Structure 1
Amino acid sequence: MEVKSKIYECAKDLFSTKGFKETKIKEIAEHAGIGVGTFYNYYTSKEELFIEIYKQENKKLKNQLTESLDLTQEPVQLISQLLKENQEAIHANPILKEWYNQDFYKELERHYRDEDSQSMDSVRNFYLSLMRNWKQQGLIREDISEELLPVFFDSLVCIDMHKDEIGIEHFPKAMQYLIEFIIKGLIKEQ
């Protein structure tokens, strides 16, 4: 196995078991059977490596979701299913779950916002693509601008990050209703 691939796989294993914050570059190097200096020949930081792994896991998740969804179903059902399956997959994947890690969330968010949106392969972009298509088809209310569409998705992520404050026992049902209310509010009345 080539050195960069070995570093990647060993880091993914450690990030999955220990989390981003608790994993040290020295441990990644030891696990890969290399020196710390060799690590830096391939990655400038632990953050750069983690983001590469995170993006790959996010891409796999998006592909799984797009294959499992019936894109012809009614918008409220489709978005509800998309967000529900996305949340379940994130919470089952220790790498993707770092999105909710207060210590690293801002770094991931900054990276995603700084990147060219066309090059990102994420569930967020899949959601935005659906919403923009519905907007072009005339299904979204005319008073909702395209610039506002991502805000609805991002607000659900923010709410998810504060589920403990909301009350974990009520959170799943509250989130389900919020998704339904948002989508129904966006869709033009027939």
Structure 2
Amino acid sequence: MDIESRIFECGKDLFSAKGFKKTNIKEIAEHAGIGVGTFYNYYASKEQLFIEIYKQENKKLKNRLTKSLDLTQEPVHIISQLLKENQEAIHANPILKEWYNQDFYKELERHYRDEDSQSMDSVRDFYLSLLRKWKQQGMIREDVDEELLPVFFDSLVCIDMHKDEIGIEHFPKAMQYLIEFIITGLTKQQQN
């Protein structure tokens, strides 16, 4: 295994075990059997390494989700299933769970917003491509600006980050209804 791959795998192991915040470059370098200076020959920062690991995990999740979805079903069902399976997978994967780390969320969000959309390979990107496709097919209301489509997904993420404040006992059902309301509202034909 080459040095970059060792750093990547050791970083992934440590981030999974300890979380982003509690993992440091010195530990990653030691675990990989290299010096700290060598780490910097491959990655500019701990954040850069983590984002690369996060993107790989997100890509794996997206591929798994896209294979499990039946895209011939109604949009409400597809999006509900996509977001439900996405949430379950995130909470089961310590790397992806960092999306809910308030300290690191802004860094990940900025990275995904700054990234060239053609090089993104995330669940968020898949969700947006579905909504855009449905918009082109006339399944999304004409009065909904395409620039608002990512806001609906991001809003659900924000709500999920505050589930304890909402009340964990009510959260799953509330989230299910919110997803249904949003998708039904987006796909509902405008009343005259």
Q: Shorter-chain TM-score category?
A: over 0.9
TM-superposed CA distance for 1:134, in Å, is 0.7
Alignment of structure 1 residues 161-176 onto 2, 5 Å: 161-176=161-176
How far 1:142 moved relative to its partner? 1.1
Instruction: State the match for 2:179 in structure 1.
Output: 179
Deviation readout 1:6-45 (Å, 9 max, x if unpaired): 0100000000000000001010011011111111111110
Aligned to 2:71: 71
Counting only pairs closer than 5 Å after superposition, residues 106-121 of structure 1 correspond to structure 2 as 106-121=106-121
Deviations 1:83-114 (A, max 9, x none): 00000000000000000001111111111111
TM-score (norm 2): 0.97
Find the aligned partners of 2:125 and 2:41 in 1 and give their Cα distance.
32
| Amino acid paired to 1:176 | Q
In the alignment, what sits opposite 2:21?
21
CA distance in 2, matches of 1:110, 1:139: 30
**What is the deviation of 1:56?**
0.5
Amino acid at match of 1:126: F
Within 5 Å, which residues of 2 pair with 1:72-111? 72-111=72-111
Q: Please list every run of 5 or more consecutive structure 1 residues that lacks an aligned counterpart in the other structure.
A: none
Partners of 2:142 and 2:64 in 1: CA distance: 32
- Structure 2: give runs of 5+ residues left out of the alignment: none
Who is 2:138 aligned against? 138
Question: What residue in structure 2 maps to residue 59 of structure 1?
Answer: 59
Cα deviation for residue 168 of structure 1 reads: 0.9
User: Percent identity between the aligned chains?
Assistant: 87
Q: Distance in 2 between matches of 1:69 and 1:132?
A: 17
CA deviation string 1:122-162 (max 9, x = no partner): 11111111111111111111111111111111110110111
Root mean square deviation of aligned Cα: 1.0
Q: Partners of 1:125 and 1:24 in 2: how far apart?
A: 30
Moved over 3 A (4+): none
The separation in 2 between residues aligned to 1:148 and 1:107, in whole angstroms, is: 21
Write the distance in 2 (CA, Å) between the matches of 1:59 and 1:5. 18
Q: Which amino acid aligns with 1:130?
A: L
1:154 aligns to what? Answer: 154
Aligned to 2:39: 39
Instruction: Report how far residue 49 of structure 1 moved.
Output: 0.3
1:189 CA displacement: 3.4
- The within-5 A match list for 1:115-130 is 115-130=115-130
